[in-house]
Structure 1
Amino acid sequence: YNLSVVNAPAVYIKAFYNKTWMERYGEHIPAETVTLLWSITVSIFSIGGLIGALSVSFIIKALGRKGTLLLNNGFAVIAALLLSLGEKSRSFEMLIIGRLIMGVDSGIALSALPMYLGEISPRHIRGSIGQFNSILICLGVFAGQVLGLPELLGQESRWNFLFSFLALPAVLQLCVLPFLPESPRYLLMEKRDEAGAEKAFQRFLGKKDVSQELEEVHAEARAQDNLHIVSVLQLLKNPAVRWQLITIIVTMACYQLCGLNAIWYYTNGILREAGFANNLLPYITLSTGAIETLAAITSGLVIERIGRKPLLIFGFSSMAVFFSLLTVFLNFQDSVSWMPYLSYICILAVIASFCSGPGGIPFILTGELFEQSYRPAAFMIAGTVNWLSNFTVGLLFPFIQESLQAFAFLVFVGVCTLGSIYLYVVLPETKNKTFMDISQSFAKINKMPNPSLGQEMELVLSIKPDTNGKAQDVTKTESSF
């Protein structure tokens, strides 16, 4: 929502900056100062996101997953108040600080929420539940586009209400989340609260017998019995999770550097070239938000059948193909009258390709590729890469666009192609696997000279792995233990 909500009232916010400057200093604000203030207002959201991502590990350690999400709603409410009241207070500083705090909220949410969803979900629907995060992000973009229409809140007298809407989901979560349990994995493995974990599983799964789920967590807990929650530095130094970490960094970087954010720079221009009137552009661009949401929903429905790896590779590969076609169409746009329509179809196809897999799966993978003790630090690193890459695109793309013109999208073709190749070679499929199974898949790739902690435990317990290299039934492990 925060990505799209600033587009509609941009003209009115700049006029508010000029009016406030006039009242303070008795002169019109210089054009370069307006541009600077507007750039800060837009880009400081990413800085806030980076701050949130860097702090999430410490907050989660102190408050847990649920407590972190509850606290985070306070940031959203404060940001909504600052953004909504900035105009009445004649303070553009309130808008900038509000955007910064809203960025902190988003940075924390994009780490804590996927972690919470991944830990409370049964493994056979973990991907589908995780995709809800992506679906609601797409709905947020679409909601920002709809509410920003001139007939609704996209007017000079109503633009501040666009930011008031930010408080609604925060207040809703504050009313609902206290009645939901904490993550049972967090309770059992970090708080050693088996009774609490059992009750949490029973609430989430709607059944009394949760012994199988508890045993799965116990197996992971035994493998990490002598481990504490590792720091970011310890995670970076640990060769046992080297390729998991590289995979998350590459996937998160591709998530932001694949070019989806840059596509918005061209959308309105292409529509104007196609002959659409300026007053129709807000309504036509609604199709981008609708396509985004439909693709995310479709991905959520098929992710447990197709898997994470095929959807990621398909998404990035399709984006590379459609970016290549878009480059061709843009170069012929001035000479062929109907070419802008093909360009716009390519834009919709790029958006659909992104949301079919790359739009949500990177956050799911961050929770799946790491065991409990590594997970908070892994989400901190993933979030940092995510927001730094987002800031890099916003900073560098205007210069790339100015230098390469229509060929600017070839940069994203390269990113998407390289990302697809890496994922095809390195990433194992994670659907319907326990966190221990996924860690064992990477143990082979990491080529560790010593057995992993899980294998060491098996040796201590004199348990032989089966023909597939997996441990025997967890119940036997428990009795031998």
Structure 2
Amino acid sequence: MDGAAGPEADTLVERGAGGGGRARRGNWSGSLILASLTGALGSSFLYGYNLSVVNAPAGYIKKFYNETWERRYGFSMDEGTLTLLWSVTVSIFAIGGLVGAIIVTPIVKFFGRKCTLVLNNVFAVAAALLMSLSLLAGSFEMLILGRIIMGVDAGISLSALPMYLSEISPKEIRGSLGQVTAIFICIGVFTGQVLGLPEIFGQESRWPFLFGAIIVPSLIQAVILPFLPESPRYLLLEKHNRSKAEKAFQRFLGKDDVSHEIEEVLAESRVQRNTKMVSIVQLLRTRAVRWQIVTVVVTMGCYQLCGLNAIWYYTNSIFSESGIDRETIPYVTLSTGAVETLAAVFSGLVIERLGRRPLLIGGFGLMVVFFGVLTVSLTLQGL
């Protein structure tokens, strides 16, 4: 898959301040940028998009469920059954994500990081077809099945993409490149909210197009990514192909001499082979890493249980209960995605200057304040 244009063509040109325009090799090669953006578009972007896409058409989809039920059984669905069915539709995406995260390890080991991302688009396209054609087929089961398949796609891609990006990028910019995943998740959430506006697909006759749109970024990734190299680390350590690994490094790093990078990967591999593996129980019993484990568990637990997913899934319902005008709600919802996207971009710009810890403390602190205000507001609104 190596193009005729060598690494020279991929190197970004940085101009000096003195006006001489002297070109020098930079860390951000064209292939590296293209791989990052394409990988994130068909992976983390779709994950964010599917978090928010069910929010705007919720009322229309519930109506579709009720009409389908009535057509089949001759009576309307009771409110409890409808709520349960809709809750399953929303939450089963996470179940699919768990399945994808569990099965991804042997897949990336066998197919490679890039090929896993490419093949994973089969799940996305299949899910998009099922969900977008569910109204036409009169089957809400197709929508639910599509949601779980889309969850499998998300679980695989969110594991394979960071692995691919970390293995193709230079060590000094690996942290910055890692922010691409988070930023594209936010962009995906915001895009789902934009397309859900009444002027676009947020209408009763158009909501299937919201799910059909998933095909577009999937096809873009499936078309572009095969022309980019596989992870050099995978080629070197799993396939034992030093020649292809060197060519991949040359494309991504934009330089001819990659002997240092090759030796660095080999040295890291030797260290890993000599490292004694321990079980989870042994890890939990090791006092030396206890605070690290506590930090990881608390941080990830707070992120998953902070209520952010509820905001994404049920924003319109929350604003409706708050008394906001129905016609205004889609545009107020849009502001949540915009603020989140701005926050992700801002944190990516300042993370190396401020550090991870202050941003985590600040972010969780603000969540405590605003979720407290939200809870009090919702509690007192009926008084």
Correspondence for 1:112 among 140, 145, 160: 160
Q: Answer whether contact 1:48 1:104 (CA < 8 A) is retained.
A: yes
Q: Does 1:201 align with 2:249?
A: yes
Percent identical pairs in the alignment equals 64
Q: Which residue of 2 aligns with 1:166?
A: 214
Deviations 1:403-462 (A, max 9, x none): xxxxxxxxxxxxxxxxxxxxxxxxxxxxxxxxxxxxxxxxxxxxxxxxxxxxxxxxxxxx
CA shift in 2, pair 1:284/1:253, >3 Å: same
Q: 1:30 and 1:329 mapped to 2: Cα distance?
A: 30
Which structure 2 residues correspond to residues 47-196 of structure 1 after superposition, within 5 A? 47-196=95-244
Q: Answer whether contact 1:188 1:194 (CA < 8 A) is retained.
A: yes
Q: Answer whether contact 2:131 2:212 (CA < 8 A) is retained.
A: yes
CA shift in 2, pair 1:32/1:327, >3 Å: closer
Q: 2:82 and 2:321 mapped to 1: Cα distance?
A: 28
Q: Answer whether contact 2:55 2:314 (CA < 8 A) is retained.
A: no
Q: Which residue of 2 aligns with 1:318?
A: 366
Letter paired with 1:8: A
TM-score (norm 2): 0.78
Q: CA deviation at 1:68?
A: 1.3
Q: 1:58 and 1:265 mapped to 2: Cα distance?
A: 32
Of residues 257-266 and 294-303 in structure 1, the stretch that sits farther from structure 2 once superposed is: 257-266
Q: Answer whether contact 1:124 1:304 (CA < 8 A) is retained.
A: no
Q: Answer whether contact 1:75 1:102 (CA < 8 A) is retained.
A: yes
Q: Which residue of 2 aligns with 1:449?
A: none
Q: CA deviation at 1:294?
A: 0.9
Q: Which residue of 2 aligns with 1:365?
A: none
Letter paired with 1:219: A
Correspondence for 1:261 among 295, 306, 309: 309
CA shift in 2, pair 1:111/1:166, >3 Å: same
Letter paired with 2:148: L
5+ residue gaps, structure 2: 1-48
Q: 1:172 and 1:56 mapped to 2: Cα distance?
A: 22
Correspondence for 1:290 among 328, 338, 362: 338
CA shift in 2, pair 1:251/1:326, >3 Å: same
Q: CA deviation at 1:201?
A: 0.9
Deviations 1:335-391 (A, max 9, x none): 9xxxxxxxxxxxxxxxxxxxxxxxxxxxxxxxxxxxxxxxxxxxxxxxxxxxxxxxx
Q: Which residue of 2 aligns with 1:301?
A: 349
Letter paired with 1:250: V
Q: CA deviation at 1:311?
A: 2.3
Q: CA deviation at 1:264?
A: 5.4
Q: Answer whether contact 2:90 2:313 (CA < 8 A) is retained.
A: no
Q: 2:237 and 2:119 mapped to 1: Cα distance?
A: 22
Aligned residue-pair number: 332
Q: Answer whether contact 1:236 1:242 (CA < 8 A) is retained.
A: no
Letter paired with 2:92: I
Q: CA deviation at 1:247?
A: 4.4
Q: CA deviation at 1:74?
A: 0.6
Deviations 1:230-264 (A, max 9, x none): 7xx84664578955655444332222112323445
Q: Which residue of 1 aligns with 2:88?
A: 40
Q: CA deviation at 1:334?
A: 7.8
Q: 1:328 and 1:30 mapped to 2: Cα distance?
A: 31
Q: 2:330 and 2:296 mapped to 1: Cα distance?
A: 36
5+ residue gaps, structure 1: 336-481
Q: Which residue of 2 aligns with 1:210?
A: 258
TM-score (norm 1): 0.63
CA shift in 2, pair 1:275/1:317, >3 Å: closer
Q: CA deviation at 1:81?
A: 0.5
Q: Answer whether contact 1:83 1:95 (CA < 8 A) is retained.
A: yes
Q: 2:131 and 2:246 mapped to 1: Cα distance?
A: 42
Q: 1:264 and 1:168 mapped to 2: Cα distance?
A: 22
CA shift in 2, pair 1:310/1:126, >3 Å: farther
Q: Answer whether contact 1:64 1:186 (CA < 8 A) is retained.
A: yes
Q: 1:156 and 1:50 mapped to 2: Cα distance?
A: 31
Q: Answer whether contact 2:99 2:152 (CA < 8 A) is retained.
A: yes
Which structure 2 residues correspond to residues 227-376 of structure 1 after superposition, within 5 A? 234=279, 237=282, 247-263=295-311, 276-324=324-372, 326=374
Q: CA deviation at 1:188?
A: 2.0
Letter paired with 2:347: S
Q: Does 1:22 align with 2:70?
A: yes
Q: 1:304 and 1:188 mapped to 2: Cα distance?
A: 30
